[in-house]
Structure 1
Amino acid sequence: MMLVVRGDACVLPDGGEPARLRAGDLAIARGPDPYTCADDPGTAPQVLILPGQECRYPDGRPLNGSMDLGVRTWGNRLDGATVVLIGTYPMRGEISGRLLDALPPLLTLTTDVWDCPLTPYFSQEIVRDEPGQEVVLDRLLDLLVIAALRAWFARPEAEAPAWYKALADPVVGGVLRLLQDDPAYPWTIATLAAKAGVSRAALARRFTALVGEPPMSYLTGWRLALAADRLRDSDDTLDRGAGGVAGVRV
């Protein structure tokens, strides 16, 4: 995620068209394909940011803190013409992939469709060095990305995933939240229909029409995705995870 605070910037995906950004504009690069962020398309890269946030000069030499300008701040100089706030999610799982796969490799939101009140607060907080600051910044980044994705999918020409659009439905949206919030519960069409206040047949038809698959099929896929992320991100084994240790039953 790149949020321009001051000046102009340009994001150039490898093999794609450059996206020009002005102050207040935001870009989200989906990854893992590389891209270049510069003040101008003609500016040669001065720093390489590798996996694991390892930073090197283009010739391979490590930066070794040579561009550090203070708390979470680095670059050529503090009074530079261009300032960009950058946030990164280093891991990708099955759950996040459901949303990321619906996004283009490079998403940009300009100020004419994007006016986020979090920007000035983020700018103030990112340079502080106080207890719990990492937690504050993590939550701010989450809120910023969520606000950006909502603005992106709210555009008239947006192609949001079926399940995302279905969340706005008064019946199916509530059922989706039940399944997502408590996937380990032994849900059935009958219990879901009772919670939604509709018949089983009506729920099955409406859910399938809006989401693209029946409720129980969606639940199975959700449980499998949660289990896959749990196995990837913890020391749980397949035998241990299959018993629902993570609150997920497949």
Structure 2
Amino acid sequence: MDILDDLLSGVRARGAVFCRSVAEPPWAVRFDAPAPLALGTMLSGEAWLVPDGGRPLPVRQGDIVLTRGGTPFTAGDHPDTPPQIVVLDSERCYATADGPAAPRRDYRLGPRTYGFTADGSDLFVTAEYPMRGDVCERLLSALPELAVVPWQREFAPLLDLLAAEVAREEPGQQIILDRLLDMLLVRALRAWFARPDAAPPAGYRALGDPRIGLALRLLHERPAGPWTVASLAAETGMSRAVFARRFTELVGSPPLAYLTEWRMTLAADLLRERGASVASVARRVGYADGFAFSNAFKRVRGVAPSTVLRARDVDSPAP
């Protein structure tokens, strides 16, 4: 396990919602309520993406688009083309000429496919990830609201498979699409975070250092372990002082501060699980008693873990 593995552990596609838009210029499709994380790509043709309140960005064939935060956006052949179709979700859309309250025309051309014509030259595919929790938030906060990742050779096999599979309706189809989406998402995130102007999650770039990368992997594999600066230094074959200095330089925080922050992120999600208690979560993130854990959680997160438990019970009352 490493940082990206952990951040994506709650982001696996399961029944991901796909939308395949077929059009001939001039065209524009508005996505009115996207999920917290959405991935899009032009399988053929070119387009512009215009997020509400943001600047238009060109999308060329094979580029991967990542949108986060649930901000509505419009995809079209030109930034000024008004939307002709508004997509609400995988089952609901309407033409802007009619409005949402008017009798609906059926713009579904096939499985997961919308448009005015099945023979359009431009083919834009989007897929949405429902995301919840503090671990996922660490990933989302490292992304801009709209990121366009230029085509790379390693995208090509996955995009070819996606083009072949997304319009089919066969047994096991959703599993194939979900796994393709997972692989495309990881490839796109790696490409985005490799940019010099990107701001990847804390510690991400340090994974490239053989010794500090090893320490980070150990912390993510065994976050509840009885780690000390000395034990981590020994695992990496470095002196305590050199390890602590190098870790802080590359990661941006001292080793045990990083570990505490990561433990509290995990704990915030664990506390929201049905049946969880302060004591049980404390043990799962490496604390011998609930009192020490509660103090650490409140210091890092600003609220007591009992507050998270109460909010969970209000949002999800027991049956």
Q: TM-score, normalised by structure 2?
A: 0.68
CA 1:90/1:47 → structure 2, altered by over 3 Å: closer, same or farther? farther
Shifted more, 98-107 versus 63-72: the winner is: 63-72
2:285 partner amino acid = V
CA 1:179/1:64 → structure 2, altered by over 3 Å: closer, same or farther? farther
CA 1:240/1:40 → structure 2, altered by over 3 Å: closer, same or farther? farther
1:7 partner amino acid = G
Distance 2:160 2:73 in 1: 26
1:226 partner amino acid = L
CA 1:130/1:178 → structure 2, altered by over 3 Å: closer, same or farther? farther
2:129 partner amino acid = Y
Which residue of 172, 176, 179 corresponds with 1:139? 179
Matched, 1:47 2:85: yes
How far the C-alpha of 1:243 sits from its partner, in A, is: 4.1
Give runs of ≥4 in structure 1 deviating > 6 Å.
62-65
Which residue of 282, 285, 290 corresponds with 1:248? 285
Matched, 1:172 2:231: no
**Equivalent residues of 1:162, 1:210 under 8 A apart:** no
Match of residue 5 from structure 1: 43
Distance 1:25 1:37 in 2: 13
Residues 67-104 of structure 1: CA deviation (Å, up to 9, x unaligned): 22222223223211211121111214322222322222
Distance 1:53 1:240 in 2: 41
Distance 1:63 1:148 in 2: 39
Q: TM-score, normalised by structure 1?
A: 0.85
**Equivalent residues of 2:270, 2:276 under 8 A apart:** no
Match of residue 57 from structure 2: 19
Distance 2:285 2:172 in 1: 31
**Equivalent residues of 2:40, 2:127 under 8 A apart:** yes
Corresponding pairs, count: 245
How far the C-alpha of 1:32 sits from its partner, in A, is: 2.3
Residues 173-208 of structure 1: CA deviation (Å, up to 9, x unaligned): 111111112212222223222221222222211111
Q: What secondary structure, in the 3-state scheme, does the structure 2 residue paired with 1:103 have?
A: coil
Q: Percent identity?
A: 46
Distance 1:65 1:224 in 2: 49
CA 1:242/1:154 → structure 2, altered by over 3 Å: closer, same or farther? closer
Matched, 1:67 2:107: yes
CA 1:204/1:48 → structure 2, altered by over 3 Å: closer, same or farther? same
CA 1:237/1:156 → structure 2, altered by over 3 Å: closer, same or farther? closer
1:55 partner amino acid = R
Distance 1:123 1:240 in 2: 49
Which structure has more relative contact order (CA 8 Å, sep 6+)? It is 2
